[in-house]
C-alpha cells in the first residue's frame, strides 16, 4: 500500500507491530510430544533453504521454543490489551 503512510509517518511514535505465525497444539499434549514437535518445526524453519524461501516471501524465521512462544503471546496480549482498553475498542 504505497499511498498509505507508515505508523511513524502518521505520527505514532515508538510502536512496533509485527505479524507472526506459530504452530500450536492442544494444552493436553504430553510435554515430550510438544518438545519433539517444537524441535522438528524449529529445525525446518532454521534450515538454510527454508530460511531463504521464507525470506523471499518477506518472512523472517525464528524457530522459538514453546516457552518463547508463550512469552510472546503474554507480551503481545499485555501491549495490545492495553491499547484496546485505552482506546475503548469494542467488537461489533
> Which pLDDT tens digit goes with each residue over 13-55?
777 778 889 999 999 999 999 999 999 999 999 899 999 999 9
- Asked if 45 and 62 count as a contact pair (C-beta separation under 8 A), the reply is yes
pLDDT recorded at residue 53: 94
Residue 80 has pLDDT above 80, yes or no: yes
Report how far residue 6's alpha carbon sits from residue 12's, in angstroms, rounded to the nearest whole number: 9
pLDDT at 9 over 90: no
Separation between Cα atoms, residue 92 and residue 38, nearest integer Å: 36
CA distance 38 to 44: 10
Q: For residues 61 and 47, give the distance between their C-alpha atoms in angstroms, rounded to a whole number.
A: 10
Of 4-13, 67-76, 83-92, the one with minimum mean pLDDT is 4-13
| pLDDT surpasses 80 at 89 | yes
Amino acid at each position: 500500500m504505497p499511498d498509505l503512510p507508515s505508523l511513524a509517518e502518521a505520527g505514532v511514535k515508538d510502536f512496533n507491530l509485527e505479524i507472526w505465525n506459530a504452530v500450536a497444539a492442544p494444552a493436553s499434549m504430553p510435554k515430550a510430544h510438544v518438545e519433539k514437535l517444537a524441535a522438528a518445526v524449529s529445525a525446518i524453519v532454521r534450515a538454510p533453504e527454508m530460511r531463504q524461501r521464507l525470506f523471499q516471501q518477506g518472512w523472517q524465521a525464528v524457530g522459538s521454543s514453546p516457552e518463547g512462544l508463550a512469552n510472546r503471546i503474554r507480551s503481545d496480549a499485555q501491549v495490545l490489551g492495553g491499547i484496546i482498553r485505552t482506546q475503548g475498542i469494542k467488537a461489533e
